[in-house]
Chain A
Amino acid sequence: MTALLEVEDLRVAYGKIEAVKGISFSVEAGQVVTLIGTNGAGKTTTLRTLSGLLKPSGGRITFDGKPLGNVPAHKIVALGLAHSPEGRHIFPRLTIAENLQLGAFLRTDKAGIEKDIQRAYDLFPILGERRKQAAGTLSGGEQQMLAMGRALMSQPKLLMLDEPSMGLSPIMMQKIMETIVELKAAGTTILLVEQNAQAALSLADQGHVMEVGKIVLSGPGSDLLHDESVRKAYLGED
C-alpha cells in the first residue's frame, strides 16, 4: 500500500538560505506522525510547503497519488489536505461560526456543513457557547480549538497541526492533546508538529526528529520517547 503523503528529498529555501535540506518521510492513512525539534529546525517551513504557501526548491511531494510541488495554495485544501497553522491565525473580526464556515469554503453540501459545525461544537463546547462572538476575543486555547475545528471543516484526508500547544496553559495543553487522541481514535490521519516532544511522541505512531533542516532520527513514537539522545536533547534530562 502506498502512503497517503510521501515526501522525498524535500528542499525549501528562503532566498539563499536553505531551511529544509532534503528530508524524506511518509504518512500512512490512519496514522499520527509527528515532527519534533527545536525552533528553527524547519518544521513549520515543511508544513507551509506541503500546503503550498511556500514553493519547494527541490524534491517531491506526493499526496493521495498526486504531485503537489506546484499546486497553488488555494487548491491544496480541495485535495484533502488541511492545515491548522502555527500561531492559530483565526480570522479575528469574524465570528466563531463564520470562521468555521470558512473552513468549509469549498464545500457545497449545506446540510453536511451544518452537521460538521455542530460536531465542532460537540468537540469544543466553548465554541458553541460563543458562536456569535468575534474570534479575536477568545483566549489562546480557545483560538487553538477554533483553528483545529476550522481545519476539520474541510473533511480532510490529512490534518496538519502546527504547534497546537504553543503558548497554552498546562490545562489547556492537556485538553488539546486529549482532543488529538480523540481524533486519532476516530481514524483521522494527522501530521503533528510540536516542540512539546513528550506529548507528541507519546501519542504518535511514527516520529521524526528535525535539526537545522534535516531529519536526524526516525522511529515509532514510543521508541523515540525512550531513546537516550532524544531524552537528553528534547525532554530536558541529562
Chain B
Amino acid sequence: MHELPQQLANGLALGALYGLIAIGYTMVYGIVQLINFAHGEIFMIGGFGALTTYLMLPSGTTLLVAIPLMIIGGAIASVTVATAAERFAYRPLRGAPRLAPLITAIGLSIVLQQLVWGFYPDAKKPLSFPEFGGDSFHLLDNLYLQRADAFILVLAPLCMLALGMFVSKSRSGRAMQATAQDPDTAKLMGINTNRIIVMAFAIGAAFAAVAAVAYGLDKGQIGWEMGFLLGLKAFTAAVLGGIGNIYGAMVGGVVLGLAEALSIAYIEEIPGMQQLGGGAWANVWAFVLLIVVLLVRPQGLLGERVTDRA
C-alpha cells in the first residue's frame, strides 16, 4: 500500500482527462439527446490544431507562452469542426428517428479520422508533441506528480468551475437549462434554441481541446486514432456519472480514472487474480465498473430519474 498515494494521483489525473472530454458528450446529450460519437475525433482535432499552432510559433518560444496559444489554436480547430458538424450533419436530422443521427455520428467519426490521416502532413504515423521538460513535483516521499498531470489537475477543476458558473448564473446558461428541460417551451420564452445547441457543441469542443493539449503534453505525441478509445472511455464516464449532468461527467471521469489506476496496481495482488491485473486488463475493469453501476443505478451516479412528462 506504500504506493497508494501515487496510484490515486495517477487515477485522478486520468479521470480529470476523461471528465473534460465527457463534458462534450453530456452537454450535447442533455440538450438534443444525441450521442455525438464523433466527439472523440473532435478531441483529436483539438490536438492537431494545438500542434499546428505550436509549429507556427517562432522556435525557442517557452512552453509557458506556447501552451495558452496552443489551447486557443486547438479550440479554434475543434469548435469549428464541431459546430460545422452540428450545422450540416446533425441539424438536418433533427426530428428524424434517433438512429439516423447516431449512425451519422459514427460515420462522421470515421470521416474525420480518415481526413486527418490522409491530409495532415505526416499524420499516417504518430506526430511528436511538445513535452514538459524539468522534474516532476516531489510532494511526499511516495508521491511524485508529473508536470503534465499537475497541469490537468489544475486546469480541469478550473474549467468545471467556469462552466458551472456559466450554466447557473448567466443568461445564456439559464437559457441552456431551459432548452434542455423543454425545448418547445424555451422557444415560447424567446430563446433561440438553435443558438443554444451550437453553444453546447462549442463548449464541449473547447473542453476537448484543453484535454487534447493535456494529453499531448503527457504522452509527447498525438495521432489520428487517439480519439477513438479515449472518446469511448469519456463516453463511459459520462454515462457512469449520469449523462446530461455536467457534474456527473466530472464525477464519472474521476471514478473511472481511479478504478483504472487502482485495478492496474492492485487486482493482481488479489490471490487467484494474478492474470487479470496490470495495464492490459484496465479497460476490462473500467467497463465492468460501468456495468455494475448501471445495474444498481441505471440513471448513473448523479443522474436524475427521468420522470414522465405530463
Contacts and interface: CB of A to CB of B under 8 A. Distances in A.
Interface string A73-109: 1111110001101011101111000100111011000
Given A53-B184, A91-B182, A77 B310 contact: no
A91 B188 contact: no
A89 B184 CA distance: 9
Contacts of A82: 188
Contacts of B185: 85, 89, 91
A74 B174 contact: no
A74 B192 contact: yes
Interface string A178-190: 0000000000000
Interface in A49-88: 51-53, 72-78, 82-83, 85, 87-88
Interface in B289-310: 304, 307, 309-310
A154 interface: yes
A77 B178 contact: no
A51 B189 CA distance: 11
B310 A105 contact: no
Interface centre among A73, A98, A103, A154 (most CB of B within 10 A): A73
A164 to B, nearest CB: 14
B178 A102 contact: yes
A85 B187 CA distance: 12
A77 B304 CA distance: 31
B17 interface: no
Interface size bucket, A side?
20 to 34
Contact of A52 (B177, B181, B187): B187
B181 A91 contact: yes
A105 B181 contact: no
B58 interface: no
A113 to B, nearest CB: 12
Interface residues of B, number: 21
A192 to B, nearest CB: 17
B175 A91 contact: no
A77 B190 contact: yes
B129 to A, nearest CB: 41
Contacts of A53: 184, 187-188
A106 B192 CA distance: 11
Given A91-B185, A94-B181, A75 B174 contact: no
B191 interface: yes
Contacts of A94: 174, 177-178, 181
B283 interface: no
B6 interface: no
A92 B187 contact: no
Contacts of A103: 189
A150 B191 CA distance: 14
B53 interface: no
Select the residue from B177, B181, B192 with max chain A CB neighbours within 10 A. B181
Interface string B115-147: 000000000000000000000000000000000
A85 B309 CA distance: 13
B189 A102 contact: yes
A77 to B, nearest CB: 4
Contact of B190 (A74, A88, A93, A98): A74
A30 B169 CA distance: 37
Interface of B: 171, 174-175, 177-178, 181-182, 184-193, 304, 307, 309-310
Given A74-B189, A106-B189, 9 more contacts: A53-B184, A73-B184, A74-B193, A77-B189, A87-B310, A94-B178, A94-B181, A103-B189, A105-B191
